[in-house]
Amino acid sequence: MPAGSSDVWRSTASSTPVSDARAAAGASAPASPRAPSEWRFTPPTVETREAMWRHAGPRRGADGLERLLDDPYPLARLIAASALERAESRGVHQRSDHPIRDASLDGVHLVVERDGGLRRERWP
């Protein structure tokens, strides 16, 4: 992140990437966001968010993704498991251990089952 950019985000609370994307798509913002005390889940800790960026960001490898499998936050574990299952580089998602796109995975999506297992589906 460029120097001073966090100050920009703090000073422009009315403009976020999400609100900018909604505006560009012509979608209206939610009527009133829920306060954190009303959320139906516990948000990830700072440690989890930092670990996700470090190990499951655009540049990733199996070693880092495997570390996330023990994270206390369930979504971090699901993202890591899905990224490990998709052993390829695609678009901006670059795997250091699988640097080439796998054409056999074109149109293949990973679906998370209720038990947490992953299932591959081919969508048109």
Distance in angstroms (rounded) separating the CA atoms of residues 93 and 117: 22
Q: What is the DSSP letter of 60?
A: E
The tokens describing 68, both together, are 């996330």
Q: What is the pTM of this model?
A: 0.67
**Secondary structure (3-state) at 33:** coil
Closest CA to 99 of 55, 62, 64: 62
How do the domains of the chain map onto residue ranges? 41-124
Question: In which residue are the tokens 């936050």 written?
Answer: 73
What are the pLDDT digits (tens) for 54-77? Answer: 999 999 999 999 999 999 999 999
What are the pLDDT digits (tens) for 19-49? Answer: 555 555 566 655 677 787 787 888 899 999 9
Distance in angstroms (rounded) separating the CA atoms of residues 104 and 91: 15
Q: What is the CATH number of domain 41-124?
A: 1.20.58.100
User: Which backbone phi and psi does 90 adopt, to 5 degrees?
Assistant: -150, 125
